[in-house]
Chain A
Amino acid sequence: MTTNDFHHRDDTNSAPQSRFPVRELSLLVVLAIAVSAVFMVMGSAYSTRMLVEASCYAILALGLTIQWGYAGQFNAGVMGFVALGGFCAMTFSVPVNPAFWDSSLPGELARVLAYVVAGIALVFGLSRLTRLGLPSWLRTVITLVVGMVVYMVVISEFREVTDAIESQMGFVGGLGLPVWVGWIVGGALAGGVGYFIGHVCLGLRSDYLAIATLGIAEIIKAFLKNSDWLTRGTATVSPLPWPVPAPGEVGFTLARAMYLSVTAVMILAIFFLLNRAYNAPWGRMIRAIRDNEVSSAAMGKDINRRRLEIFVLGCVLMGIGGAALGSFNSIFDPNGYLPLNHTFLVLVMVILGGPGNNLGTLFGAVAVYIIWIMSEPLALYVMELAAHFGQASFGWEVPSSLESRALQARVFVIGLLITIVLRVAPKGLLPEKVKHHD
């Protein structure tokens, strides 16, 4: 299998590297036509919104393409990292809630946090009891029991404080800092969570990473949804400030175009840095590990460390992209984070565009997003047509939930797309170009 693969690669590379990029250009032309068609039909305000969202998704897709395409790590929980980014964008940028800061509750919260730190220190200390000559089973029992009691005490205190916050002032409010602070912290937080998951899973079978990321995404969502004191939960927070003048000041199209220029600059920067890293020794090492673990291990490369680096880097990008997306939507709604929209859509962008090929991923992101956005009115239209036909010809009674059901058809289409691409074009529309002997 590996040898086969190797030879296959050789064949594709026998074509000269400097050939005229026909495929890239023709795909670009198709994309440009599609974008201008949307501009003509839906108007410029709608279309710029679509482009901004597509550009945010492109950042997410770049994050996934380095995990999946560069390193062969499959992250099934993009949604969680996106939500973390959105949360940070919200918390850091929305105005301060003076009622909360003037009350005694911040002090209470700080007290609970101090308890947490003290509790962790205590449990950690107990787990070292073997150094005092305690048998390890006794150490384990003591640590577990004390850990449980400490946890109970801390969590009860914590519940009391958060309940008080919720009943007295809704939620803690934001920090009122510039938008970009939240974006950076969002990336850092997503990277931190990625570090934890990667640390646990990356030495094991690749499936385990997929399972664990799927789980952490649901947990992050559950946390953001139920921590009303921090996020207002399902009550949602809006509006979120923008890094550029808001639509109210300069009009929808211009404001969105300015937002687009911000995300475009970010993409350019990420793109440039990734391309450099890809061709640097670091990138070659990552790909060597992906393509042949055994031989790179034999060469003495610290595989798990490199894998962790790439995984964390991908998660950071997802956090930043999620933060940009959250700010743009101008509303923080934990229920709005769905595996379909924020994990699988990104996955389709990457595998369709070309995993490991940054340009292909960008193309995939924009193209798939256009199809995705346009499929909503299209699905409704097709459903209506079918309903009309059904009513007219055999008196079919149309279910009232037609609209929500029509949208389910899109779930099916995304699933079908994934399976078809894997089978027909496993390397995507713009395959990764692996250079040998350079």
Chain B
Amino acid sequence: MPLLDARQVHGGYGGMNILNGVDMTIEADEIGVIVGPNGAGKSTMLKAIFGQLNVTQGDILLRGEPIHNLPTNRLVELGMGFVPQEHNVFPSLTVKENLEMGAFLKPGNIKRMLAKAYEFFPPLYDKRHQPAGELSGGQRQMVAMGRALMAEPELLLLDEPTAGLSPKYMYEIFDRVKEVNAAGVGILMVEQNAKQALAIADKGFVLAAGQNRFTDSGQALLADPDVAKSFLGG
């Protein structure tokens, strides 16, 4: 059974449809990457999966259970983590407190998971008593991912984790994503840096105008001249 199975998802804001039938399947050990032009509905799809959008048609299943239109805290309980693109840390809370908030529903795990989070993101350990608002963009992204991992999700949704970061940090974040995935967490992320992201993807989804344009393995998409021409800038 796939970890995430989305079929023909339609939805949008206030009666305006942005998604016009998107299909997406991720297995438990896979990294899925969503790419596509601006306004294709990439982030909207992520929000639809995380219950922040009214899904009007279609099904979203997590391990075979329908989850669309469930309240957010229920989705977290079911094993989903979400890292928004912006405003993804609590600026006045310290790094440690930010991480603790991730484990809000599982307070018994805090010690163990904190150790694990510092292991994944060593720079955070030194800054654990500093307010997260004072960190650099890359470190903030680590706090955000660490926070989401604290709840031990099975599926982690990342919305443009490398937006606005320097290439050095971008590769660092992608390395972490691979490590997290190797530790047994399914990943679905939206990316603007399409080539680099598809390079680490087991599955790639190219969206345009709220529909799947191409769906294949990351390597196959990179090799496909049509994809390269229209979506990867030649």
Contact = CB atoms under 8 A, between A and B. Distances in A.
B223 interface: no
A3 interface: yes
B153 to A, nearest CB: 29
A336 to B, nearest CB: 48
B15 interface: yes
A175 to B, nearest CB: 58
Interface string A5-23: 0110000000000000000
Contacts of B13: 3
A4 B15 CA distance: 8
B183 interface: no
Interface string B6-45: 0000000111100000000000000000000000000000
Contacts, number: 7
Contacts of A3: 13-14, 16
Contacts of A4: 14
Nearest to B12: A3
Contacts of A6: 14
Contacts of B14: 3-4, 6-7
Contacts of B16: 3
Interface in B157-206: none
A3 B14 CA distance: 6
A197 B180 CA distance: 56
Nearest to A8: B14
A4 to B, nearest CB: 5
Interface string A258-289: 00000000000000000000000000000000
A6 B16 CA distance: 12
A3 B13 CA distance: 7
Nearest to B14: A3
A6 B15 CA distance: 11
Nearest to B15: A7
A7 B14 CA distance: 7
A6 B14 CA distance: 9
A271 B201 CA distance: 66
Nearest to A1: B14
Contacts of A7: 14-15
A36 B14 CA distance: 47
A4 B16 CA distance: 10
Interface string A297-331: 00000000000000000000000000000000000
A3 B15 CA distance: 9
B47 to A, nearest CB: 14
Nearest to B16: A3
Contacts of B15: 7
A3 B17 CA distance: 12
Nearest to B13: A3
A3 B16 CA distance: 9
A5 to B, nearest CB: 9
B20 to A, nearest CB: 18
B19 to A, nearest CB: 16
5 contacts: A3-B13, A3-B14, A4-B14, A6-B14, A7-B15
Q: State the 7 A-B residue pairs at the shortest beta-carbon distance, nearest first.
A: A3-B14, A4-B14, A7-B14, A3-B13, A7-B15, A3-B16, A6-B14
